[in-house]
Amino acid sequence: MSAELMIQSMKKLIEIHQTFCEIAKEKTECLKKGDIAHLRSLMQKEVVQLKQLERVEQERIRLVQFFIQGKGLVTETGTLTELLPYVSDTEKEELVSLQKSLTEQINLLKQENELNQQLIQDSLRFVNLSLDVLKPEAETGNYGRPDKEFDDGIQGRSLFDSKA
């Protein structure tokens, strides 16, 4: 049994992660521009890609386990490392190359997501600062009565009598 199906599965995983990277870059631009509507549509695309990623990853695990069991061995996790000792040298080289490429895509995606997270945090800080400027907290100061028991029901009256 050859590892061709697993190679195809790895290629699909790389394509999905490339799509995730493209979406993450678009999200960065949306965050910079403040285009929330487009950001929502990108997040919906991400959900679709995430479901596809889960499906392909489960398929890959199943293929690795099937391959290993076909060799008469037992596997627990279905990782690529468990598979490598049992494939031909050319397939091993291709699988290792694909694994390296997938790792690079994952790292790129991680960097893009960290940048997006930082942009969102900066935006939230700016919004909070703007809200604080527009509506500062009420300060009590020294000019009030220390105890509210002497309140004669004269709330809302000015210090100056406007009829005078």
Torsion of Cα atoms, 73 then 78 then 105 then 24, to 10°: 170
The arithmetic mean of pLDDT across residues 12-21, rounded, is 96
Output DSSP code: residue 137: P
Averaged pLDDT of the chain: 83
Which has the closest alpha carbon to 31: 109, 124, 98?
A: 124
pLDDT at residue 105, as a whole number: 96
pLDDT tens-digit readout, 114-142: 999 999 898 888 888 888 777 766 655 56
pLDDT at site 70: 82
Only one residue has tokens 């929502």, namely: 40
Q: What is the pLDDT of residue 82?
A: 79
Instruction: Work out the pLDDT band at 12, boundaries 50, 70, 90.
Output: very high
pLDDT band at 113 (very low <50, low <70, confident <90, very high): very high
58-87 per-position pLDDT tens digit: 998 888 888 888 877 777 777 788 788 888
| pLDDT attached to residue 72 | 79
